[in-house]
Amino acid sequence: MNRLEDKVAIVTGASRGIGEAIARDLVANGAKVVLAARKPEALHAVAASLGDAAHPIAAHVGKEDQVEALVEGAIAHFGKVDVLVNNAATNPYFGPMMNVEWGAWDKTFEVNVKGYFMTSRAVVRHLLGRKSPGSIIHVASVVGLIAAPLQGVYAMSKAAVLSMTRTLSAELGPRGIRVNAIAPGLVETRFAQALTSNAALKKQIVDRTMLKRVGVPSDIAPTATFLASDESAYLTGQTLTVDGGWTIG
Ligand SMILES: NC(=O)c1ccc[n+]([C@@H]2O[C@H](COP(=O)([O-])OP(=O)(O)OC[C@H]3O[C@@H](n4cnc5c(N)ncnc54)[C@H](OP(=O)(O)O)[C@@H]3O)[C@@H](O)[C@H]2O)c1
């Protein structure tokens, strides 16, 4: 319950799916959490269900002014930020890389790469300003680790996140700021519906998964809580793969 006592976190993409599960687990372990997503209705509903430990701020993480307002709003509400979970991402294009249109390319990189970086930078500036340690957690994907036919553009953005994780961890380690990534395998959420609702595709994935099922958001959340907590005080620059053993198959 008190693993995260006195810690304040921002979780992006917290109105459903993996981000919601992470926000709930952080609060259950004693953190105060600012929840971010674009559409206020679902976001406010999740925050309300968590009580005073949660505070919703609507923000598009690809827009610099909204990212600045998110971090400033979190500091104004809870006094500080110690933990950032960059989780909000998009995947507007499913198909061969050769056929991608620039609009889908730009949107993918705006949210998944620039969005993660802008939000990290805003939180890191705050941490450096108060000479405080902190933990930045990037929700990446197993597709950032391997070839990913039909998901190549999204996979490139996730590989960029893993690179960002390593370099930021090297640059910020001396200041006590840890930066790690989680690479989930397939998880039942709205985001993954195109894959989970296709029975043949889902069977293929389950067959290759050592634990013989796809993930659910609560499979991912405890890893974020661990990375947010001081239990992972000597862990930085790493990618923790949470995929039921899919990538070793
Ligand atoms: N599900 C999987 O199989 C899987 C596997 C590996 C990795 N992941 C990663 O896990 C993370 C979460 O995915 P999920 O499956 O939980 O997705 P999800 O259920 O679709 O939830 C996405 C969340 O992000 C928010 N969001 C989307 N675009 C945003 C933006 N531009 N600015 C702010 N918030 C935004 C959404 O709310 P609004 O629409 O209101 O903004 C929502 O809260 C992503 O980084 C994804 O790449 C997922």
Residues 207 and 164: their CA atoms lie apart, in Å, by 32
93 is catalytic: no
Whether 1 is in a domain gets the answer no
Given 93, 116, 154, 234, which residue is catalytic?
154
What is the per-residue pLDDT for 199? 95
Q: How far is CA 17 from the centre of its chain?
A: 11
Q: Which residues contact 45 (CB under 8 A, 6 or more apart)?
A: 15
Q: Which amino acid is located at 47 in the chain?
A: A
Among protein residues, the one whose CA lies closest to atom 1 of ligand 1: 187
Q: Is residue 70 part of a domain?
A: yes
60 Cβ inside 6 Å of ligand 1: yes
Mutate to test the pocket of ligand 1, among 10, 16, 34 (most ligand atoms within 8 A of CB): 16
194 band by pLDDT with thresholds 50, 70 and 90: confident
137-161 average pLDDT score: 98
Cα 15 from chain centre: 12
Q: Per the domain annotation, does 131 fall within a domain?
A: yes
Confidence of residue 35 (pLDDT cuts 50, 70, 90): very high
Asked whether residue 2 is assigned to any structural domain, the reply reads no
Q: Is residue 73 part of a domain?
A: yes
Residue 43 belongs to domain spanning: 8-248
Amino acid identity of residue 237, one-letter, is: G
Structural domain includes residue 3: no
Overall number of domains in the chain:
1
Sorting pLDDT into bands at 50, 70 and 90, what band is 246?
very high
0.85 exceeded by pTM: yes
Q: Closest ligand 1 atom, CA of 88?
A: 24
Q: What is the CATH number of the domain that holds 60?
A: 3.40.50.720
Q: Whose CA is nearest to atom 30 of ligand 1?
A: 60
pLDDT for residue 1 is more than 80: no
Name the percent of the chain lying above pLDDT 90.
98
